[in-house]
Amino acid sequence: MPPLICLLLLASVISGGDSALRFAASYGDHMVLQASPYRAVIWGHVDNDNVTVSVFVKGHETAPVYSISSNGIWKVQLPAWSSSSTEAPYTITATSSEGNASIHDVLFGDVWVCSGQSNMGVPMSWINNTAYEINKALAFDKIRIFQVHAFESSVPLTDLHSIQTKWTAPTKETVPGFSALCLLYAEYIYTHKKQPIGLIETEWGGTSVEAWSGPDALKECEEHKAKRGPRAGSVLWNSMVIPLLPQTIYGAIWYQGESNTHNSDQYACLFPSMIKDWRLKFHQASMGATNQNFPFGFVQLAGNQNDSSRIAGFPAIRWSQTAKYGYAPNPKMPYTFMAVAMDLPDFKSPHGFVHPRYKQDVAERLGLAGLAVAYGEKGLSYQGPYPTSFNTKTKDQLVIEYNHGHTVLDVRSNNGFEICCSPSTHPTTCAVHDHWAPAPMSAHHGTTVTLNTTGCHPKWITGLRYAWRESPCEFKKCAVYGKENDLPAPPFIKYIPF
């Protein structure tokens, strides 16, 4: 075990509460602190300034780490601590002239933040095979969960206003109300990595990306629209993210977008800006302990209404979730990873179309991508097929090649492709007087599909799109999948030149 070292500097924020020395609200018995190669940050409150606080791991006869309080806040970094130590669990003790405090049954592992709106909040009690999944979760005693209580604030808060679920191992009382996607994702990762995982659920149903974004992120996208309630700019960032920033984390996963279907073009700026700002602020508040490029996973929106002709705002939001690249990671969203869910609708969900119960499939797809991007595991096929070239064999055909010819396709339908028919030729859009015509698949072979484009004069074809519907298919029955990984090709829209 490495020795405890160094005098640590601290952050200046406003104090709260009326007790003596205490840990911040997001710390507690049974928690997980971030393991090596990163250094766990521990912080809390005292009643006075210039109070020396020492922090040590009980049972290790090494020098403690010190902090001197400022504005009632103390903060230290522990040295990098292995997740595989046989000496776990630990007791962490902080002492000062104002008293002492300890947290017990602490593990070191990877800490993930799970955020967004209601589909991140869908609890384990809502999903398919609920009884089985809840019982299975109880066996993962090295996964620890913590749930922030929903609260909005027009001003930044130093610490969490309230807690829904204190740190705990999974129990029959706490699992049913915890985020299904968050917990199932962690189970997938744990099964492969075999190290403790701490989960921090901070979400609120019906909320916008603006609410979770700080002023700097909003300013970058010139987003100054006035809103009310938990959709207003920064009101959840202030209360449900800022108090978590000093804590060292490994990464974050996100499921949100349904509440931004009215401004999908703006979302293409807001979402990458929010991710970049979260990364910077977590890094700064943790004294550099959290990686400035920590991995960020997200779910591309699932199907919604049971209407195969309905377009509405979902297709455009899915496209904007990828900053209009169609895949992740991409140049505007490095170190991100994505689970496509458009082929996982649940038209019979008792909790509404917008809340599909198939969170197991989503978590497995997100977990696979997380292993590849967040953990750097090589040789994983973690993305669905994506088109890389478009060729016209004849005037009535368009051949699409996927992944430069490296992905063998599993074709399940000949529907889903459309061409923009534009007599007036708009090379960057399909204008209001143009129309999208079906381009059914006439053939497929290996890594290519061939589309029938007789629905439009060859000279008038200006665009191509795929799966551009709110619910483009029934459960796992969209047109194109990867034969090796069973992952769906994501939706896309392109204009000439392809």
Q: What does the pLDDT read at residue 223?
A: 61
**Residues near 369 by beta carbon (within 8 Å), at least 6 away in sequence:** 297, 337, 338, 339, 382, 383
Mapping DSSP to helix (H, G, I), strand (E, B) and coil, where does residue 390 land?
strand
Q: Retrieve residue 451's tokens.
A: 């589309």
Alpha helices in 73-129 (DSSP H): 118-121
CB neighbours (10 Å) of residue 186?
30
Was domain 108-373 assigned CATH 3.40.190.150? Answer: no
- CATH code assigned to 387-495: 2.60.40
Provide the CA 169 distance to its chain's centre, in angstroms: 22
Q: Retrieve residue 412's tokens.
A: 């399940």
Angle at 408 between CA 403 and CA 412, to 5 degrees: 110
Mapping DSSP to helix (H, G, I), strand (E, B) and coil, where does residue 192 land?
helix
For CA atoms 398, 400, 401, 407, give the dihedral sign.
Answer: negative
C-alpha–C-alpha distance, residues 349 and 363, integer Å: 18
**Counting Cβ atoms within 10 Å, is residue 427 exposed (0-12), middle (13-18) or buried (19+)?**
exposed
Q: In terms of C-beta distances under 8 Å and separation of at least 24 residues, what long-range contacts does 326-334 make, across chains too?
A: 326/386, 326/490, 326/491, 326/492, 327/383, 327/386, 327/490, 328/298, 329/373, 332/272, 333/272, 333/275, 333/296, 334/293
Mapping DSSP to helix (H, G, I), strand (E, B) and coil, where does residue 339 land?
strand
What are the angstrom distances between the C-alpha of 368 and each of 121, 209, 225, 338, 438? Answer: 21, 25, 37, 10, 33
Q: What does the pLDDT read at residue 2?
A: 38
Secondary structure E strands in 59-172: 65-68, 73-77, 90-96, 99-116, 143-148, 163-168
Same fold, 22-103 and 387-495: yes
CB neighbours (10 Å) of residue 292?
12
Q: Could you read off the pLDDT tens digit of each residue along the chain, which spans 498 residues?
A: 333 333 232 332 333 334 499 999 999 999 999 999 999 999 999 998 899 999 999 866 555 677 777 888 999 999 999 988 777 899 999 999 999 999 999 999 999 999 999 999 999 999 999 999 999 999 999 999 999 999 999 999 999 999 999 999 999 999 999 999 999 999 999 999 999 999 999 999 999 999 999 999 999 997 655 576 777 899 999 999 999 999 999 999 999 999 999 999 999 999 999 999 999 999 999 999 999 999 999 999 999 999 989 999 999 999 999 999 999 999 999 999 999 999 999 999 999 999 999 999 999 999 999 999 999 999 999 999 999 999 977 789 999 999 999 999 999 999 999 999 998 766 678 888 899 999 999 999 999 999 999 999 888 999 999 999 999 999 999 999 999 999 999 999 999 887
Closest CA to 203 of 275, 253, 251, 132: 253
Question: Cβ distance 112 to 145 under 8 Å?
Answer: no
One CATH from 3.40.1700, 1.10.490, 2.60.40, 3.40.190 for 22-103: 2.60.40
Q: What does the pLDDT read at residue 87?
A: 78
Closest CA to 40 of 79, 1, 89, 94: 79
Q: What does the pLDDT read at residue 183?
A: 98
Closest CA to 292 of 303, 300, 301, 284: 284
DSSP 243: G
pTM for this model (two decimals): 0.93
270 φ/ψ angles, rounded to the nearest 5 degrees: -65, -45
Pairing of strands 461-466, 143-148: unpaired
C-alpha–C-alpha distance, residues 321 and 270, integer Å: 9
Closest CA to 43 of 279, 246, 280, 248: 246
- Report the phi/psi class of residue 270: left, alpha or beta, with left for phi > 0 and alpha for psi in -120 to 50: alpha
CB neighbours (10 Å) of residue 221?
19
Q: What does the pLDDT read at residue 228?
A: 66
Amino acid symbol at 437:
A
What are the angstrom distances between the C-alpha of 63 and each of 4, 74, 79, 104, 406? Answer: 6, 18, 12, 20, 55
Q: What does the pLDDT read at residue 68?
A: 79
Q: What is the DSSP string of 35-59?
A: -TTS--EEEEE-SSSS-EEEEEETT
pLDDT by residue (tens digit) across 258-293? 999 999 999 999 999 999 999 999 999 999 999 999
Question: Cβ distance 377 to 439 under 8 Å?
Answer: no
Task: Please report, for the chain, the start and end positions of each structural domain, with discontinuous segments joined by +.
Answer: 22-103, 108-373, 387-495
C-alpha–C-alpha distance, residues 147 and 207, integer Å: 17
What are the angstrom distances between the C-alpha of 351 and each of 176, 242, 354, 383? Answer: 15, 31, 8, 29
